[in-house]
Amino acid sequence: MKRFNDAQKCSDDPSKLCVGWIGEYIAGIYNYAIGVVGILATITMMVGGVIWLTAGGNSSRIGEAQAWITSSVTGLLIALTSYMILYQINPDILKVFDRSLRMQFVEKVPDKEPLSTEGNPNNSQDCNNCVTLASGRYKDGNMINSDIAAKLNRVNTNGVNWIVSEAYPPASQHQSKCHYNGMCADIGIRSD
């Protein structure tokens, strides 16, 4: 049985992920259906032949056998002609199965918070040069370094609605030491 291709970065655009197996599924289903129709047509043709052989000269049974054989040949012709009709209309219709679904590629974000001593090399617990955040802009801890606060305010004026979910003093333990002196904060984007 054929194995479907794995999703991979598109060769012409590495920022996209090409999922080729959707087209392969469609092609596989089409090929499977043609095979099933061929098998069923052969079986019905054999049933018609057996009925004819056992008819013993009975004209109604011979007519029934001929109907079975005619139906199987007609079904087989319809199934096999579908490919020819599609190819005559547009040969690229049959090649669409080779195309891939293209999705924006998103790289995996590490599960752990990256360790950082930047901004707090001496493990200080003091929030020097910190300012209080505006009301409604924070959840836990309302102080942050003034330079970071200015950058956050610039982001807000650009139409991004944010909230600080945790600033100084931190409400929970952090591996990154910069949380303990106001040099970093956890920020979320609000939808309202």
> How does pLDDT run across 130-151, given as a tens digit for each residue?
887 776 666 777 777 888 878 7
9: β partners: 17
Q: Which domain holds residue 51?
A: 8-104
Q: Count of domains in the chain?
A: 2
* HSE-up (13 A, CA, CB side) for residue 91: 0
Q: How far apart are CA 173 and CA 181, in angstroms?
A: 13
Q: Which residues pair with 19 in a beta bridge?
A: 101
Q: Dihedral sign for Cα 149, 184, 147, 191, please.
A: negative
Q: 100 and 26 in one domain?
A: yes
Q: Are the CB atoms for 186 and 165 separated by under 8 Å?
A: yes
Most confident range, picked from 38-52, 89-103, 106-120, 150-164? 38-52
136 and 58 housed in the same domain: no
CA 150/CA 161 separation, integer angstroms? 15
Specify if 177 maps to a domain.
yes
pLDDT at 42: 94
Residue 110 lies in a domain: no
Q: Is residue 124 part of a domain?
A: no
If asked whether residues 96 and 161 sit together in one domain, one would say: no
Looking at 59, 89, 104, the residue that finishes a domain is 104
- My answer on whether 49 and 93 are in the same domain is yes
Rounded CA-CA distance 163/36 in Å is 60
Output phi, psi for 104, to 5 deg: -65, 130
Q: Is the pLDDT of residue 98 over 70?
A: no
Kindly report the average pLDDT of the chain as a whole number: 76
Same domain, 93 and 178: no
Same domain flag for 34 and 89: yes
CA nearest neighbour of 185 among 171, 164, 155, 154 = 164
